[in-house]
């Protein structure tokens, strides 16, 4: 029996098999256990010798079981380890990294310049009230300048703002002079798109109000921005222009050149001294809200520009529509650059 048991033990390939063998021989009703039970029926003189014999068998079987169990456990552990092994020398999976959109990078640069000059930075609603987008900015409904900015109209006299200038009004209604603020955000125009015009684009609006603010301050501010963008030798150019909310008004351009010798006047935006009608409209709104009339008699300037134009030159993007077509071949070039 010992021989058979040990052969079976050594043949067991799994811990379950081994448990079966163990039960069959040394379990409660196993063969060895039963054999021990027969001792009582033997004559006393034979009992001792037979008992010793069976015990020896049992010990041999137990020893074989313990040894086989050790071997099988180790094998099971080895199999588990090798099936779950991690090869730390394999190259990792590349995690796609994002990057700031080129327009946000230009915004960050521009806003950094104005923050260093002490300006507050705000945003505002893209769905705007007609009154803030036009009337309060001295653009009455019959004014031809409304044709200059074709509008996406919504319901109830609301619209998608055509410029960031309505934030001039909102900011002045909320704050008293003196103030310096820049506004960033999206604007919308219902117009055909081409390489330099989109129906959704961005603007940076600047507004400064205080005692004795003059056109010289405006020119100095734009020149400071140009130096921040293009270095100490940057040049700016102002040309008279018309916007109903400023008087006098101007368009400004910045001289841009790159190391490859390319250069041109970059038409950036419009600007001017705040029109008295705008201050009056602000005071009317303030009064309606129970606030003091504090703007009539003030002076100030405003400007508005399009960061897309700067980004197109800076990154050599030939068509403004590439910025918003979400083509990974374009935006992928800005990966990982924050
Ligand atoms: C305005 O929007 C005025 N609110 C700017 C202003 C503010 C003047 C404060 C005076 C005082 P304009 O329509 O010219 O002005 O637009 C300003 C700039 O936005 C343009 O110079 C240009 O850089 C950019 N821009 C205008 N239309 C588009 C367009 N369709 N696509 C991309 N950029 C545009």
**167 CA from centroid of ligand 1 (Å):** 14
pLDDT of residue 7: 87
The average pLDDT across 227-236 equals: 92
Give the residue carrying structure tokens 């038409």. Answer: 267
pLDDT of residue 55: 84
Q: Does residue 143 have a pLDDT over 80?
A: no
**240 CA from centroid of ligand 1 (Å):** 15
**283 CA from centroid of ligand 1 (Å):** 26
Higher pLDDT, 52 or 228: 228
Residue ranges around ligand 1 (CB below 6 Å): 163, 165, 189, 191, 197-198, 201, 203, 205, 243, 246, 249, 267-272, 302-306, 308-309, 320
**How many other β-carbons are positioned within 10 Å of the β-carbon of residue 76?**
12
ipTM exceeding cut-off 0.95 for this assembly: yes
User: Which of 172, 306, 319, 321 has most ligand 1 atoms within 8 Å of its beta carbon, as the pocket-test mutant?
Assistant: 306
pTM for the structure as a whole: 0.75
pLDDT tens per residue across span 49-77: 888 888 888 888 888 888 888 888 898 88
Q: Does residue 338 have a pLDDT over 70?
A: no
Note whether 242 and 272 are within 8 A (CB).
no
**38 CA from centroid of ligand 1 (Å):** 109
Identify the residue whose C-alpha is closest to ligand 1 atom 22.
Answer: 306
pLDDT of residue 121: 98
Which of 22-26, 182-186, 260-264 is predicted most confidently?
A: 182-186
Q: Does residue 149 have a pLDDT over 70?
A: no
**269 CA from centroid of ligand 1 (Å):** 5
């Amino acid at each position: 029996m010992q021989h058979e048991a040990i052969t079976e033990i050594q043949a067991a390939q799994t811990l379950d098999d081994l448990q079966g063998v163990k039960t069959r021989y040394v379990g409660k009703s196993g063969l060895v256990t039963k054999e021990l039970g027969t001792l009582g029926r033997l004559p006393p003189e034979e009992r001792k010798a037979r008992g010793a014999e069976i015990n020896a068998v049992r010990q041999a079987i137990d020893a074989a079981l313990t040894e086989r169990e050790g071997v099988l456990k180790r094998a099971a552990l080895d199999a588990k380890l090798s099936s779950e092994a991690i090869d730390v020398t394999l190259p990792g999976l590349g995690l796609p990294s994002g990057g700031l959109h080129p327009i946000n990078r230009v915004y960050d640069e521009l806003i950094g310049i104005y923050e260093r000059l002490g300006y507050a930075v705000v945003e505002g609603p893209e769905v705007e009230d007609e009154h803030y987008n036009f009337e309060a900015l001295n653009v009455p409904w019959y004014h031809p300048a409304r044709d200059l900015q074709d509008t996406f109209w919504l319901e109830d006299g609301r619209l998608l703002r055509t410029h960031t200038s309505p934030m001039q009004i909102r900011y002045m209604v909320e704050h008293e002079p003196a103030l310096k603020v820049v506004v960033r955000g999206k604007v919308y125009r219902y117009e055909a798109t081409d390489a330099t015009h989109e129906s959704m684009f961005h603007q940076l609006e600047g507004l400064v109000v205080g005692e004795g603010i003059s056109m010289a301050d405006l020119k100095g501010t734009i020149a400071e921005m140009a130096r921040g963008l293009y270095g100490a030798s940057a040049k700016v150019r102002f040309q008279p222009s018309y916007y109903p909310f400023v008087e006098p008004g101007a368009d400004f351009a910045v001289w841009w050149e790159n190391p490859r010798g390319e250069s041109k006047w970059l038409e950036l935006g419009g600007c001017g001294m705040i029109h008295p009608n705008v201050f009056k409209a602000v005071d009317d709104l303030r009064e309606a809200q129970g606030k003091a009339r504090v703007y009539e008699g003030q002076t100030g300037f405003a400007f508005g520009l399009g960061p897309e134009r700067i980004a197109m030159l800076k990154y050599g993007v030939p068509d403004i529509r590439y910025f918003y077509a979400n083509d990974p071949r374009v935006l992928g070039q800005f990966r990982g650059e924050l």
